[in-house]
Structure formats: C-alpha cells, structure tokens
Structure 1
C-alpha cells in the first residue's frame, strides 16, 4: 500500500487540531504532526529566518515519517494560507512516492467566531481568521464546511476520502 499524506489546513480556529487529534486515533499505522508545534518559540517571532527554519523542520519531519515503515498514514495540519506554502513543503518531498490529500476546513464566519470565543481567542485573532476565510475557498484543496458538523462527522468524512 502506498503511503498517504493527509494535509489539513484552515484559518486559526477552524478546528484543525481538534479534528486531527481524533483522526489519527481512528487510523492504525498513522502519525500526526501539527505544524504549530514547530512554531512554539518564546518570543514568537515571524521573520524570514524563522519561516525558513520552520518549513525545513516540517519537511524533515514529514520526510522522516514518510520513510518510516511503521506508518501508512501521515496526518499534518497547519494554517497553510496559500498555495506557495504547499509548494515549498511538498517540493522538498518530491523524490518520495505517496498519495496526497489536501483538505481545507472552512466554516461560516458566525460559527468560526463562536468557536474562537469558546477557545478564549482575542477579538483581533477572531477578526484576522474571519478575514482570511475567503482565501481558502480558492485553494486547490478538498473543502469540508464544518459549520453544522460535529468533530466525529468531519473525521468520518475524511476517513471516507482517504481509505
């Protein structure tokens, strides 16, 4: 069986981490990497050096998992706000054979705001996420509108797609 790389993106607050936490538990021989883990730095500084380092680290980890015989499914979630970021990460893996699934989690602005308020996000964070929702609609990804879906339903939909 060919390895499967499942990339789940979406705006902050879209439910990527929550969905992936359940998804990887639902699939044997799977591993989960959250791109946010590679940004856990204090102070949090977004500059070219750090962006390049994070992209290299993510590519290294994905490559390691794809080359490890123990895993058939590699689940990766991150904001990935544009196609260029996909290209940067995937170009570093182009010598490895795998099936790719790119999935964007989207929702209505109203539900996104409710979820982010529940998570204790700031008004500024909520405004930024809502303003970026539209950019995900134009991406070359499979869209799952989570507005009226439970986490379990989203996971089921993804499982149908990748199995």
Structure 2
C-alpha cells in the first residue's frame, strides 16, 4: 500500500532535512517541498498566489500518488492552519493510500538558535524568525501527531516518523 507522508511545522524546525533522510531510507520514494511550488522573487502572498500554490502542490502530489514507480510520497510545508491541511487533503486522491500526518515542533529557544544560524549563513531572511515563532504554538490545535525535534537530529526525526507510521 502506498503511503503519503504530510509533514508540517514552522520554518527551521527540520522538515526538509527529515524528509531528505526519509527519502534515503524509503525505497521507491519521492519528495516534494511545498516551498518549491512557490519559489518566486519577490514572494507575493495574495489570495491568487495562495490558491495557485495549493493547486500546484495538489497537482504534483496527485501525479506522484498515481505513479506506480513510487510507494512513498513525502511532502513538507509550513501547514500551520487546519484549513490548509483540510484543503490540501480534499484535493488529493488518497484512495488505496495510507496518510501519515505529522507536525514537527521544537522549543522556542531551539527554533531561535536554528533560524539565527540560517540567517547568519544567508539561507533565510531575518523576518523568518518572527513568523516562525508566531506559528509555533498553532500546531497543537491541528489534530495531527506532534513530534518535538528540540533534541533530535534529522535522522532521529525521520526514525520517529517511521516508527509512528508503523
């Protein structure tokens, strides 16, 4: 049976790194980072662009789900509101597929340290820290499995996701 892994969490919590580890461990896997469907300069957050990115993500994920070459479809994105999860899932053909939903979190201190390193390295803009910290408390209300990555490496995070998936 095919598995779809939906991994949410604020910027800097380790979603992409964990998905990269999962991709290496899971044979016949494919990975989509939601940010790749919205990589624009300058980034414009409007109703039109939000609708476009959800359409892009759903289209690519459905193609992966239909493709017999893949048994494991990995997707990560911020996914900080329940309606985003619901909207996305309503667009996906998950029949015959197990959906594994996980939100990664960590302590505010760990998130700050991670994002400050990324900003210093030029990987993120300074405003990412404020937004990410604001999103952090929202994940507890989503009704998905929470995984605290404060003390976990990306490999340990991937292991915990796989353990919970069964």
TM class by smaller structure: over 0.9
**What is the aligned residue count?**
162
Matches within 5 A, 1:1-163: 2-94=1-93, 96-120=95-119, 121-163=124-166
Q: CA deviation at 1:128?
A: 1.9
Residue range with higher mean Cα deviation, 95-104 or 80-89:
95-104
Q: CA deviation at 1:124?
A: 3.0
CA gap of 1:95–1:154, structure 2 versus 1, over 3 A, is closer
Alpha-carbon distance between aligned partners in 1 of 2:135 and 2:47, rounded to the nearest angstrom: 21
SS of equivalent residue, structure 2 residue 164: helix
Q: CA deviation at 1:16?
A: 0.7
Task: Report if aligned partners of 2:65, 2:93 keep a CA contact under 8 Å in 1.
Answer: no
Structure 1: segments with no counterpart, 5+ residues: none
SS of equivalent residue, structure 2 residue 100: strand
SS of equivalent residue, structure 2 residue 43: coil
Residue range with higher mean Cα deviation, 143-152 or 119-128:
119-128
SS of equivalent residue, structure 2 residue 37: helix
TM-score w.r.t. the length of structure 2 is 0.92
Alpha-carbon distance between aligned partners in 1 of 2:162 and 2:142, rounded to the nearest angstrom: 21
Q: CA deviation at 1:118?
A: 1.1
SS of equivalent residue, structure 2 residue 7: strand
Structure 2: segments with no counterpart, 5+ residues: none
Alpha-carbon distance between aligned partners in 2 of 1:100 and 1:6, rounded to the nearest angstrom: 6
Alpha-carbon distance between aligned partners in 1 of 2:154 and 2:42, rounded to the nearest angstrom: 32
Alpha-carbon distance between aligned partners in 1 of 2:115 and 2:104, rounded to the nearest angstrom: 14
